Structure 1
Amino acid sequence: MLKKGNKLYSILTGTCPKCQEESMYLNKNPYYLGQIYKMHERCSHCNVKYKIEPSFFYGAMYVSYGLGVGIAVAAFIISFVFIGLSLVVSFAAIIGTLILLMPMIMRLSRNIWINFFISYDSHAVSNK
């Protein structure tokens, strides 16, 4: 079970990496594509600024690439090796999987990227 204080908790829930009390995103649903990148400016609990510097989240593109490659490899192995689909159908499964999971990959990559730079602080709420 994930508990607060764990980076994985912040990454998977999209909560503030410092206090883990509030969602960083205006809309928690990543499939609401109109607001996929819309974030609060600051956390209302610990006042941490999410966009540390201009273009901060450009680094998340590298994380997104890694996640995408990992998911594509997993989709290929599942479809080609385990299910036994043809090579062409397996590549179609990769494309379909990546399109279907794109919003989640984009959010996860941002969550991972910001957690590289901001650590959990159990006293963050009281330091407000």
Structure 2
Amino acid sequence: MLKKGTKLYSILTGSCPKCHEESMYVDKNPYHLGTLFKMEERCSHCQTKYKLEPSFFYGAMYVSYGVGIAFAVAAFVIAFLILELSLFNTFLVIVGTLVFFMPVIIRLSRNIWINIFIKYKGKSILPD
């Protein structure tokens, strides 16, 4: 189970990396594409500012490459090695997987990126 206080909890839930008390996103559902990139300015619990500097989340593009590769490898293993589909059909499954999970990959990448720079402080934190 995911426990508050772990990086994995914040990454998978999209919660504040410092206090884990609320979501960083205006809309938790990444498939509402109109609000995919909309984030709260600050955490209402600990006042952590999410955009540490202008264009902060451009670095998440590098993370998204790795996350996308992980999804593609998983799709390859399932389609080609387990289901024994042809190479062409496996390619189609990989492309379909990447397109379908694109919003999830974007959010996971942003969550990973911000968790690299902000450490968990727990419930005993004071506002910045």
- Tell me the TM-score normalised to structure 2 length: 0.96
Count of residue pairs brought into register by the alignment: 126
Alignment partner, residue 120 of structure 1: 120
In 2, distance between residues paired with 1:111 and 1:91?
28
Q: Supply the distance in 2 between the matched residues of 1:108 and 1:44 (Cα, whole angstroms).
A: 21
| 1:13-55 C-alpha deviation (Å, 9 max, x unpaired) | 0000000001000000000000000000000010010000011
Q: Percent identity?
A: 67
Question: What is aligned with 2:87?
Answer: 87
2:76 corresponds to which residue? 76
Give a deviation string over 1:52-107, Cα, whole Å, max 9, x none. 00110001001100010111111112101111100100000000000111100000
Aligned counterpart, 2:8: 8
What amino acid sits opposite 2:41 in the alignment? E
User: Quick one: distance in 1 between partners of 2:19 and 2:79?
Assistant: 40
2:67 maps to: 67
TM-score (norm 1): 0.96
Q: CA RMSD in A?
A: 0.7
Equivalent-residue separation in structure 1 for 2:49 and 2:117 (angstroms) = 12
Which residue in 2 is equivalent to 1:39? Answer: 39
Matched, 1:110 2:110: yes
Structure 1 outlier segments of 4+, above 3 Å: none
- Structure 2 stretches lacking a partner, 5+ long: none
